Amino acid sequence: MIGDRLSSPARHVIVVGSGKGGVGKSTVSLNLAVALAQAGHAAGLLDADLYGPSIPLMVGLTKHRWNEQWTLARAGRQRKLAPVLRHGLKIASAGFILGEDQPMGLQGIAAQSLISQLVRDVAWGELDFLVVDIPPGTSDVQQMIVKTVPTSGAVIVITPQYVAHLDARKAVQMYRQAGVPVLGAIENMGPLRCPHCGEPIEVFPAVPESRSVWAMGVEKLASVPLDPELSRSGDEGVPLVESRPDSPQAAAFREVARKLAAMLGAPGRAS
Ligand SMILES: Nc1ncnc2c1ncn2[C@@H]1O[C@H](COP(=O)(O)OP(=O)(O)OP(=O)(O)O)[C@@H](O)[C@H]1O
Ligand SMILES: [Mg+2]
């Protein structure tokens, strides 16, 4: 039923959302989840982007399919789907159900039932954190996700662009109206460092403060610059926090993980 709330698959579920598409939600979700795992938390990553699941590519699992398990689970002959173990995470993705180039046509109740299955029918085990990567926007599917999945808080991803802030403000309102605390926002694709002189290059014009998400009292959790390595790491299937742990970007993701764990009352076992 629309609005039926599931029981929580983890001590804390963190939804990573944005208003605008393509701002780096999946990149942030993955690196944040791996940073939480590196800090000693039992962490999972749920790719709930039914319409463009990109986590399989970002973790090198484009061929992984749940075909048989899925059929058995749907027929009620197998209760749980096995998450994939990668980079210290338990991972489930809508992409494990679809073919690589197959579009997802689900809407309404069918979309909700798929999300419910990804939360309820995956053998998540005991998780401290489940990071949920959701589709862009603030339409019914995002609203359905926050109403269905018990969520400790939302992290918003924005780029330093006017349009990204305008759309993110709507997302902040959507979470607040649903009673989901907005834990903060990550500014992604910030000024690029010139590889020759090291000077920051401001790619986008400044955003008027009064129209930004910061003007809504949202905390800035980190600023992650535009970085070709970050994009490459996604395409190559190895998260940057693992492939380049010494980079400032990896440090930023670890810092966000530390802040969120502290906010939610789950200090890292390794810290
Ligand atoms: N800081 C960054 N520097 C360079 N490239 C980046 C950065 N963050 C993300 N990217 C790249 O930008 C593209 C979009 O990122 P990503 O898929 O994470 O965004 P998204 O918000 O999840 O998109 P969608 O709304 O389509 O789900 C990817 O190719 C990714 O590798
Ligand atoms: Mg995405």
Q: Is 90 exceeded by the pLDDT of residue 195?
A: no
pLDDT for res 165: 96
Residue 22: CB partners within 8 Å, gap ≥ 6?
Answer: 136
The count of residues in the chain is 271
**Angle at 111 (CA atoms; ends 218, 4), nearest 5 degrees:** 70
Relative to the CA of 22, which ligand 1 atom is closest?
Answer: 23
Nearest CA to ligand 1 atom 29: 231
Six token digits for residue 7: 């029981």
Q: How far is the CA of 53 from the centre of ligand 2 (A)?
A: 6
Q: Where are the beta strands (DSSP E) in 8-125?
A: 12-17, 43-47, 84-86, 89-93
Summarize pLDDT for 63-107 with one digit per residue, the tens. Answer: 999 888 887 877 777 779 999 999 999 999 999 986 666 666 777
Residue 2 located in a structural domain? no
Mean pLDDT of 54-66: 93
Round to whole Å and give the CA distance between 271 and 268.
Answer: 5
> Is the residue at 124 inside a domain?
yes
- Judged against a pLDDT cut of 50, whether residue 1 lies above it is answered with no
**Does residue 207 register a pLDDT over 70?**
yes
Reduce the DSSP state of residue 104 to 3 states and report it: coil
Inside any domain, residue 231: yes
Chain segment 119-159, per-residue pLDDT in tens: 989 999 999 999 999 999 888 888 888 888 899 999 999 99
Number of domains into which the chain is organized? 1
Average pLDDT value for the chain: 90
Q: Which two structure tokens, joined as six digits, stand for 121?
A: 């029918």
3-state helix, strand, coil in the chain (%, to 5): 40, 20, 45
The CA 3 to ligand 1 mean position distance, Å, reads: 30
Ligand 1 center from residue 258 Cα (angstroms): 22
- What CATH number is given to the structural domain containing 47? 3.40.50.300
What is the CA(54)–ligand 2 centre distance, in A?
6
Q: Report the atom number in ligand 1 closest to the C-alpha of 227.
A: 3
Examine residue 253 and state whether it is found in any structural domain, yes or no. Answer: yes
Residue of 133, 231, 232, 253 with the most ligand 1 atoms within 8 Å of its CB, for mutation: 231
CA–centroid distance, 260 to ligand 1, in Å, is 21
Rounded CA-CA distance 181/174 in Å is 10
Using the predicted structure, report yes or no on whether residue 2 has a pLDDT greater than 50: no
Residue 271 lies in a domain: no
How close is the Cα of 160 to the center of ligand 1, in Å?
14
CA distance 252 to 250: 5
Determine the pLDDT at residue 4.
66
In a domain, 44, yes or no: yes
CB atoms within 10 A of CB 265: 9
Q: Which residues line ligand 1 (CB under 6 A)?
A: 18, 21-27, 49, 52, 54, 136, 188-189, 224, 226-227, 230-231, 234
CA torsion, points 43, 44, 49, 54, in degrees to nearest 10? Answer: 90
For residues 227 and 117, what is the distance between their CA atoms, to the nearest angstrom?
A: 35
Gap between the Cα atoms of 197 and 152, Å rounded: 43
Atom 9 of ligand 1: nearest residue by CA position: 24
The residue among 25, 8, 9, 3 whose CA lies nearest residue 155 is 25
CA distances from 196 to 2, 67, 223, 224 (A): 54, 49, 22, 19
The answer to whether residue 3 sits within a structural domain is: no
Looking at ligand 1, which atom is closest to the CA of residue 189? 1
Query: What is the residue with the minimal CA distance to atom 6 of ligand 1?
Result: 231
Q: Check: pTM over 0.85? Answer yes or no.
A: yes
Range of the domain at 30: 12-264
